[in-house]
Structures are given as structure tokens and as C-alpha cells.
Chains A and B, each alone.
Chain A
């Protein structure tokens, strides 16, 4: 595998790993702020 391919697959792995945990966390935060907004309504 060339170094370019290695670098690309390494970047993809990193992005995939962060998306794997980031997406559920983003969903949780979105629901949290919907709830928090009730304080100001």
C-alpha cells in the first residue's frame, strides 16, 4: 500500500471513529437543549 493510500485510509478511520461516537452524542445534546429551552419559554 502506498503512503498516500495509507494516509487516506488513516484519515478515513479517524473520521469514521469520531463520527461513530459524535453522531449519538450530537443527538443527545440536541434533545438536551430542547429541554433546556423550556426554562426560557
Chain B
């Protein structure tokens, strides 16, 4: 960088402003953006990659609170005089916004880097809780819906995809295990929030004042908890390239030598086949999850050993445990047996287990419980393994953005699953059916969906090379610096953007 010439007269009269070259500009832009600049997110030499999973968990354990929304439902209904349908709105809008923001903001999240994304997630999610506090205190329920559902939901979407794509980059040798850890955290978030929120409502009371205080404490506590994730998260450094080659030495199949952009990915049949796989796998899991407690009671109503309602609560808890464990166990197993094979297990064995429930479910409570637990473990595992499957098919370049777009399958399944089970159970009751007959039709539908998912999985083939990014296509088959290349590419793009904003004298306008 040039320096000003020393002069005795005022600078404005005699000194010309130095031209700033491109490298200097990069430093200027980086300094202005501070610790959120992408180059500042790259790990220093010697950074332990096992610091990245707790960073991801700090975000996922927090945003997983959304699944414990039901704790607030009854207190809100009583204190604000709203209906059950109305009290479910913040959660429903939150899940819709999760899918939408992940799909729309996925590319920005990849470009800005995980620290920026996780900070935005923190701000949006915690603001949503704080806005809800104000809404409850003011007695304005629509503020709660917009705060928790709209603002908080954006935080859910950004926070869900960003840690996952970063973990994939750090664990090229075990992407399934890495994504399993993070997405297990999303399930774990509800386990923490549910008893914690209940205790808080007991302490503060279930009046508007008490609920508002609970939202306020949630907002502050989650901001502190998530900030550790923001501080810890790093992108892989150049130094990691050498280590990555060594890590992949024993797992040659784990290496992906090409990249596909998010825009190209949605043009491939592989993306849509995987969309069907995820959608139907999730729908099948929701089929049990939605009606777990009454289903267990109904199945054994006529038997010699009927199940009490309190025992059915225990059954729901066991299903949650299976859902969470499946995310880590099965997703980690996929690193050994391969993604296609593991989905054959989820979909094929899942369909067979539904058949077992239909034919022999009412004969033995342990058989029913175990079969349902395995189905639920496949449900959780379907979520956890899909980012690794995407990485195998499309590379790491924009895997977060592609994952975001795929999550629309979850939104559809979230509507489809409960709709099928509830509608059929209600129709069965009207027709005078009792016991297992109430669920027979919906179980047949779940089996059919799983079979369709199984066929879709079978049709998935490697992506046509014409969709590969040109600069990476030639590097297939040799160890490559994919992540570093991505960082360099984004940096170049940022520098080009900044250069456009530089005027003739080299002064940055904006």
C-alpha cells in the first residue's frame, strides 16, 4: 500500500490521495466487517475440529426449543382467552418459516459463512422470544404469532442449516456422524426446553405477567448459550487440507471430487428423488409420533393387559429417546455402509415394521413398543443422514443452500403426516371401529409411502457431470482443497463487489 508524501502544507492543498490496490481494499473491507468477515472465520493453525460439534450443538439445542412450544399452549389459552388452534399458530408459522428461510437464505448463509449465519440465527430466534414477551404483557396475541413464528422462525431456518454444512466440511471422513451430532441436538433441544419451561412457568405463574417473564428469561438465556457457538465456529483452514488428505486416505470412497451449485442441484432428478425420500420417510414417522399415546392405549384396550394413560406418556418419552438416538447412531452407521444402503434400511425395514405392527402389534406390548421405537429411530435418522447424502451427490460447495431447499420436503411432510393419521382415525371412530382397526388404513398408507420412497432411493444415481462446477470438475479423483477453494472463491466475489463500490480515487463509497 502506498503512503502519503510528507508535506508541510495542509494535505488538502498539495497531497494527492493514494490509490488503494485490491489487496489493501480486501483488508479494509475485512476490517470494516470485523469478526464476521469470512476470512476471519477461518480456523487458525492447530484448531481442533472437535470444537466444531459443540459450536453446532449450542445452536441446535437452542432452536430445538421450538418443539417444546406445547408447554406454552395451555397457559396462553387460559390467560389470553384464545383457542387451541390459535395457540398452535406461532409453532406452525415457525416451522413454515424454518423451511422458507432455509430455502431462500441458504446461498447467503454459505456466502457469509457460519459465524455470520449463527449470529443472525441468535438475533432472530432470541428477538422472537423477546417480542413474544412484549406481546403477552401487552395482551396482543398477534405480536406473539409474528414474534415467535415469523422472526423466530427465520432464526430456526438459518440456525438449522449453517452448523450442518460447516460440520460436513470439517469431517469429510465421517460426514454422517457429524451431521448426526448436530441434528440430534435439534431433537435434544425439546428435551431440555420442555422441563425447563415447565419449571419456569410454575415459578413465575401462568398469568400474562408470568408467561411474559418466562419468554424474557428464555430470550436472554438462549442468547448467552448460543453466543458460545458463534464464538467457537470456524471454517477449515489451509492447514486442514493436508490433514484432510490423510483423513481420507483410509476412506477413498468418502472423497467427493466435484461440486454442484444450489441452482444447478434443483435441476437434477437426484434432488427431487431425495426430496421424495425425505418427505415420505418423515411422513411415515409422523404417522406414529402424532398419535403415539392414544395409539398404544387403543391397541391394547381389548387385551388382558390394557395400557394406562400414564404409561402411554412413558411410551411417548421412549419414542423421543429413540428419535434422538437414531439421529446419531444410524447417521454414523451410514459412513460405513453408505448412504443409499442406510436409506434402504430406513424405508424397507420401516415398511416391514409397519406391517409387523398391523399384523402382530396387538399381541404383545413389548413387540409394539420396540417396533414403534425402531420406526421412530429411522424417522430421526432420515433427517440426520440427508445432509451427508446431499454432500455425496453434490459436494460441499453449497451443501447448506441445497439442504435448505430440500427442507421444504419436511414442511410438506409436517402437514401430510398428521392430516392422514388424524383424518383416518376420526373417520374410523365415526364408523364405529375400535382398537387397532382405527389405525389400519393409515398404516397401509404409511407402508405405501415408504415403498414409494424406497423406489425413489433406488433410482438415485450419481449426478451428471454437466451439472458439476467447471473449476472443480477437472480435479476429480485426487485430493482437493474444496473448502479452501470455496473460501477463496467467495473472497474473490466479495472483493469484486467491493471494487465496484470503489470510486476513481480509490475511496470506498459504502
Known: A28-B191, A36-B318. A17 touches B55 (CB 8 A): yes
Q: Which listed residue (B61, B315, B316, B317) contacts A21, Cβ 8 A?
A: B61
B46 within 8 A of A: yes
The answer to whether A27 and B54 have CB atoms under 8 Å apart is no
Chain A residues with Cβ below 8 Å from B232 are: 17
Contact for A32 among B185, B311, B320, CB less than 8 A: B320
A 1-41 contacts with B by CB, 8 A: 6, 10, 13-14, 17-18, 20-22, 24-25, 27-29, 31-33, 35-41
Q: What is the CA–CA distance of A18 and B57 in the complex, to the nearest angstrom?
A: 9
CA distance A32 to B319 in the complex (A): 10
Count of A-B contacts judged by CB separation below 8 Å: 78
Closest residue on chain B to residue A22 by CB atoms: B54
A21: chain B residues within 8 A (beta carbon)? 54, 57-58, 61, 185
A24 contact from B55, B61, B313, B321, Cβ within 8 A: B61
Q: Which residues of B contact A31 (CB under 8 A)?
A: 191, 194-195
Q: Mark B360-377, 1 if CB is under 8 A from A, else 0.
A: 000000000100000000
Over the window 53-65 of chain B, the binary record of Cβ atoms lying under 8 Å from chain A Cβ atoms (1 yes, 0 no) is 0110110010000
Q: Which residues of A contact B488 (CB under 8 A)?
A: none
15 A–B contacts from the bound complex (CB under 8 Å): A20-B228, A21-B54, A25-B185, A25-B192, A27-B192, A27-B196, A28-B192, A29-B321, A31-B191, A31-B195, A32-B191, A32-B321, A38-B313, A38-B317, A39-B311
Please name the residue on chain B nearest to A40 by beta carbon.
Answer: B314
Q: Is there contact, CB below 8 Å, between B314 and A37?
A: yes
Chain A CB within 10 A, most for which of B195, B313, B315: B195
Cross-chain contact of A35 among B192, B225, B317 (Cβ < 8 A): B317
Residues on the A chain within 8 Å of B310, using CB: 38, 41
Within the complex, the shortest CB–CB distance from A39 to chain B, in Å, comes to 3
CA distance A6 to B47 in the complex (A): 11
Complex interface bits, B318-330 against A, C-beta within 8 A gives 1, otherwise 0: 1011000000000
B51 within 8 A of partner (CB): yes
> Which residues of A lie under 8 Å from residue B61 when comparing CB positions?
21, 24-25
Q: Chain B residues near A18 (CB, 8 Å)?
A: 54
Give A29's nearest chain B residue, CB to CB.
B191
- With A25-B61, A25-B192, A32-B320 given, is the CB distance from A39 to B54 under 8 Å? no
How many chain B residues touch A (CB < 8 A): the figure is: 31
Beta-carbon contact of A10 and B313 below 8 Å: no
Decide: A35 and B314 in contact? CB cutoff 8 A: yes
Once A35-B317, A36-B317, A39-B315 are accepted as A-B contacts, the answer to whether A28 and B55 lie under 8 Å apart by CB is no
The complex places the Cα of A40 from the Cα of B369 at a distance, in Å, of 12
Given contacts A20-B228, A24-B192, A29-B191, contact A10 B46 (CB under 8 A): yes
Task: Tell me, in angstroms, the Cα distance from A15 to B313 when the chains sit together.
Answer: 35
20 new A-B pairs (CB below 8 Å) besides A24-B61, A36-B314, A38-B313?
A: A10-B48, A14-B48, A14-B50, A18-B54, A20-B228, A21-B61, A25-B57, A27-B195, A28-B194, A31-B191, A32-B191, A32-B320, A33-B321, A35-B313, A35-B314, A35-B316, A38-B311, A39-B314, A39-B317, A41-B310
- B residues neighboring A (CB under 8 Å): 46, 48, 50-51, 54-55, 57-58, 61, 185, 188, 191-192, 194-196, 225, 228, 232, 310-318, 320-321, 369
Task: Give the docked Cα–Cα distance between A25 and B320 (Å).
Answer: 14
Smallest Cβ distance from A20 to chain B, in angstroms? 5
Q: How far is the CA of A29 from the CA of B190 in the complex (A)?
A: 10
Chain A's closest residue to B189 (CB) is A28
Docked CA distance A9–B185 (Å): 26
Partner of A25, one of B188, B312, B315: B188
Determine whether the beta carbon of B317 is less than 8 Å from that of A17: no
A40 cross-chain contacts in B, Cβ below 8 A:
314
Chain B residues whose C-beta falls within 8 Å of the C-beta of A37 in the assembled complex: 314
Assembled-state Cα–Cα distance A25/B192 (Å): 6
Closest 8 pairs between A and B when the two form their complex, measured CB to CB: A39-B314, A28-B191, A38-B314, A35-B317, A28-B192, A17-B54, A36-B317, A21-B57
Q: When chains A and B are docked, how far (Å) is the Cα of A21 from the Cα of B320?
A: 19
Give complex CA distance A31, B68 in Å: 14
Distance between Cα atoms of A27 and B316 in the complex (Å): 18
- Provide the bound-state CA to CA distance between A4 and B42, in Å: 24
Which residue of the partner chain B has the closest CB to A27?
A: B192
Query: Which A residues are in CB contact (< 8 Å) with B225?
Result: 20, 24
In the complex, are the beta carbons of B321 and A36 less than 8 A apart?
yes
Interface centre among B46, B54, B61, B316 (most CB of A within 10 A): B54
A21 to B79 alpha-carbon distance, docked (Å): 34
- CB-defined contacts of A17 to chain B, threshold 8 Å: 51, 54-55, 228, 232
Q: Which residues of B contact A20 (CB under 8 A)?
A: 54, 58, 225, 228
Of all chain B residues, the one with the shortest Cβ separation from A38 is: B314
The docked-state distance in angstroms from the alpha carbon of A22 to that of B53 is: 11
The interface centre, meaning the residue of B51, B313, B317 with most chain A CB atoms within 10 A of its CB, is B317
Complex Cα gap A14–B228 (Å): 12
Give the distance in Å from the alpha carbon of A41 to the alpha carbon of B194 in the complex.
22
